[in-house]
Amino acid sequence: MSAPPALQIREANAHLAAVHRRAAELEARLDAAERTVHAQAERLALHDQQLRAALDELGRAKDRFFRQLDRDGSRSLDADEFGRGLAKLGLVLDQVEAEGVCRRWDRDGSGTLDLEEFLRALRPPMSQAREAVIAAAFAKLDRSGDGVVTVDDLRGVYSGRAHPKVRSGEWTEDKVLRRFLDNFDSSEKDGQVTLAEFQDYYSGVSASMNTDEEFVAMMTSAWQL
């Protein structure tokens, strides 16, 4: 059998070289994608930890203030106790005014304010700039556009594969995403977060930040808007 012509050999070598280059390109893209997923997971875990730490500290401070006002230890504030709390914050109301405000914030109709209702009452209204950036963050999460964020929506934005507990086999990736979602859910934790719940969560964060610029910068960085 005669040897293949030199031209055919060169063409075959060129084809093999092209195949190798294509394989190297695909491998590089896969490596880059894996690094991106890993970085997203690390940001997710870090963001989760930072939010929990900040809100835990804020919650503890407000809880201490609540317990100072709750003189009878009932874990709720009547109009008198609530009025004294507002006075300590610089807002002095007479008895009728205190009772009216207490009724307004008494969401369960018990006649008193529990800790959650009290914390809501202390939150200042948010500016349009803050509401707008919160809505933008929610829209980024709500990939389905149905007004509700679920684990399925989060899968399209974040990956939990590189989370330490996923890598150790202790948690599934869905559990990581669900735990992250639970941060923004109401007390019922139904695995679905509405815009109202998302806004309610961040209204608590907003109360601890003095300027719109600071809050918008935090949201923009946290959600990469």
Domain definitions of the chain by residue range: 1-122, 128-223
Q: 1-122 with 128-223: one CATH topology?
A: yes
Does the pTM surpass 0.85? The reply is no
Helix 6-69 to helix 115-122 angle, to the nearest 10 degrees?
Answer: 100
Q: How far apart are CA 35 and CA 42, in angstroms?
A: 10
pLDDT value of position 129: 94
pLDDT, tens digit (0-9, with 9 covering 90-100), for 5-60: 655 656 655 656 665 676 667 666 656 655 655 565 556 556 556 655 655 665 67
The b-or-e profile of 95-130 (16+ CB within 10 A means b, else e) is eeebbebbeeebeeeeebbbbebbbebeeeebeeeb
Q: What is the CATH number of domain 1-122?
A: 1.10.238.10
Condensed to tens digits (0 to 9), the pLDDT of residues 128-164 reads 999 999 999 999 999 889 999 999 888 877 777 777 8
What is the per-residue pLDDT across 75-84, written as a single tens digit (0 to 9) for each?
A: 888 888 888 8
- The DSSP-derived string for 89-147 is TT----HHHHHHHHHHH-TT-SSSB-HHHHHHHHPPPPPHHHHHHHHHHHHHH-TT-SS
Task: Please report the sign of the dihedral spanned by the C-alpha atoms of residue 102, residue 103, residue 108, residue 112.
Answer: positive
What's the CA gap between 88 and 109, in Å, rounded? 25
Burial (0-12, 13-18, 19+ Cβ within 10 Å), 37: middle
Instruction: Give CATH for domain 128-223.
Output: 1.10.238.10
For the chain, give the mean pLDDT.
Answer: 78
